[in-house]
Amino acid sequence: MLQSELAARGIPLACCLEPEQLASMRASEGQLMALTLSQVGQSVLLEPAGSCRRTAPGQGTSLSCPKLRTPSWMGSYAIPAEAFSADRVGAKSMNLTQLKGQLPDWIHLPASAALPFGTFEAVLEDNLNAGIADAMQALHQDLQKDGQGLSDALQDVRRAVLQLQAPLQLLPQLQRAFRDAGLPELQEGHWGPAWQAIKAVWASQWNNRAVVSMRRAGLDHASLRMAVLCQATLPAQHAFVSHTANPLSGDANEIYVEVVQGLGETLVGNHPGSAFSFVARKDCLTATPGDEQNTSVPTLLESGITITGFPSKSAAMRTKSAGSNLIFRSDSNGEDLEGYAGAGLFDSVQMSAPELVAADYSTDPLLEDEEGSTR
C-alpha cells in the first residue's frame, strides 16, 4: 500500500505483479518518490522525484524548500471582506477579492468576513489564556518527535487550543465585521458553537497530516499563520468543484467538473463512491444558459461535454439547521505555495454540524431530466 500526496488525504492500493519492478521499489526505500496515476487509475508510474532533496534526519524531504512569509497581526480580531489584503488573509479570501467585479450579474459572491492572520496568536497571548500558552510552550519539545510521540503531542496541543477563552473585544468586533459584510449576526445561543468552530479551525494547524506534510516539504511550522474565513452556508441540493484546466490530462481548453448531492463535504470527505464527473471543452461554451436569445445552447453543451464518471456515492452531507448556518474555513499562509500542495491539510468547520443522509441518484434531475441538466 502506497501513501499518496498527503494534502489529498487518499491512500491508493496498488498491485505489482512484476518481480523486477517490485525489487526496484524495495530498493527505493527511504527515498522520495513521485507517484503518477493514469487518467482512469489503471496504471501507476513510480519514479524518483529528482528535484527533491533530503533534509536533516527526522525532518522529511523538501521540494525546493518553499518558504512561508509570516504576516503580522494588524490589531483587529475580525474584518469584513472590504478589508481583505494579502497581509491579512490567505488565498481563499483573496480569491474572492480578486473575483469582485469580474463576474456576470447572475453569479453572486458569498458575503464574507474573516479573523485575520495573527488573531490566534493574539488570543493566545491574552492574559485570559496565560495558562494555556504555558502548557503549549511546555509541549514544544515533544513536537520534535516522530511516530506515536508526535501524534500524542499534537493531540495535547489541539486539546489546549480548544480550551482558549475569547478576549472581551473579539465578539463585538466579529459582530461588526459580520454586519459590514452582510452576514447574519450571531444570535443568542450561537456564539458558543461559533467560538468552538473557530477554535477547531485553529487547532487543525496541529493535525497529524498538516505537520507531517510540512515537515516533508521543509516548511517551518512556527511560521504558519491561520486566518479563518467566515461565510453563510446554504441548504445545497448539489455541490461541485470545477477545475479551469483539466488536472488529469493537463489540457487548458478543458474544464473538469465533479458533482455530488448535498454539501461540499460530501465531495471532499472521503465518503465511499465516486462523484458525477464530466469534461467540458471551453471552445464549445461560447453560449451560456443565461443567454435567452440563443436557442442552440443544449446542442452546444452536448457537443462539448464528455461524461467521465457516473455517481456512486451512497451518502450525502446536508445541513441540519433550519435557519442560517455558518462555516468557518481554514485560510492559512501555507496552502497556495509554488511547489507545495497544501489544500486540504487544515479543517473547515460548520457552526451546526451537517448530517449524513442516504443519497439517491436514481431520481436526480441532474441525471434523469435532459432539460434540467442543461439549465
Residue 296, pLDDT above cutoff 50: no
Per-residue pLDDT, 24: 82
Select the more confidently predicted residue: 184 or 52. Answer: 184
The domains found in the chain, sorted by start residue, are 6-50 (no CATH), 79-234+322-344 (3.30.1490.20), 238-318+357-373 (no CATH)
User: Strands 315-318 and 355-358: what pairing?
Assistant: antiparallel
Q: How far apart are CA 350 and CA 346, in angstroms?
A: 14
> What band does 343 get if pLDDT is binned at 50, 70 and 90?
confident
Give 264-316 as a 3 state SS string.
HHHHHCCCCCCCEEEEEEHHHCCCCCCCCCCCCHHHHHHHHEEEEECCCCCEE
Residue 54, pLDDT above cutoff 60: no
When pLDDT is averaged across residues 253-280 and rounded to a whole number, the result is: 89
> What band does 178 get if pLDDT is binned at 50, 70 and 90?
very high
List the one residue out of 90, 136, 130, 116 whose CA is nearest residue 334: 90
Residue 371, pLDDT above cutoff 70: no
Residue 188, pLDDT above cutoff 90: no
Written as nine digits, the cell of 40 is 482512469
> What band does 22 get if pLDDT is binned at 50, 70 and 90?
confident
Per-residue pLDDT, 326: 93
Put residue 271 in one of left, alpha, beta given phi > 0 → left and psi -120 to 50 → alpha: beta
Query: What element of type H or E holds 132?
Result: helix 130-138
Per-residue pLDDT, 4: 32
pLDDT digits (tens, 9 = 90+) for 101-156: 888 888 889 999 999 999 999 999 999 999 999 999 999 888 888 888 899 999 99
Per-residue pLDDT, 113: 98
Collect all residues with Cβ–Cβ distance below 8 Å to 274 and sequence separation of at least 6: 309, 310, 311, 312, 313
Report DSSP state, residue 112.
E
Q: Kindly state the percentage of the chain with pLDDT values over 90.
A: 45
Question: What is the value of pTM for the model shown?
Answer: 0.76
- CA-based radius of gyration for the chain: 23
Written as nine digits, the cell of 128 is 485570559
Contacts 24+ apart (CB under 8 A), 124-127: 124/164, 126/165, 126/167
Per-residue pLDDT, 148: 87
Residue 53, pLDDT above cutoff 50: no
Lowest mean pLDDT among 36-45, 50-59, 210-219: 50-59
pLDDT digits (tens, 9 = 90+) for 344-358: 789 999 998 888 999
Per-residue pLDDT, 264: 86
Q: Is 39 helix (H, G, I), strand (E, B) or coil?
A: coil
Beta strands in the chain (DSSP E): 33-37, 44-48, 52-54, 61-63, 79-80, 112-115, 226-233, 238-243, 254-261, 276-281, 305-309, 315-318, 325-332, 336-337, 340-341, 349-350, 355-358
Residue 57, pLDDT above cutoff 80: no
Residue located via cell numbers 472521503:
270
Select the more confidently predicted residue: 108 or 337. Answer: 108
Average pLDDT over the chain, rounded to an integer: 83
List the one residue out of 61, 68, 63, 97 whose CA is nearest residue 82: 97
Q: How far apart are CA 167 and CA 225, in angstroms?
A: 19
Q: Kindly state the percentage of the chain with pLDDT values over 70.
A: 79
Residue 324, pLDDT above cutoff 50: yes
The most confident of 48-57, 216-225, 365-374, by mean pLDDT: 216-225
Q: How far apart are CA 351 and CA 366, in angstroms?
A: 29
> What band does 268 get if pLDDT is binned at 50, 70 and 90?
confident
Distances (CA, A) of 346 to 204, 208, 329: 5, 10, 9
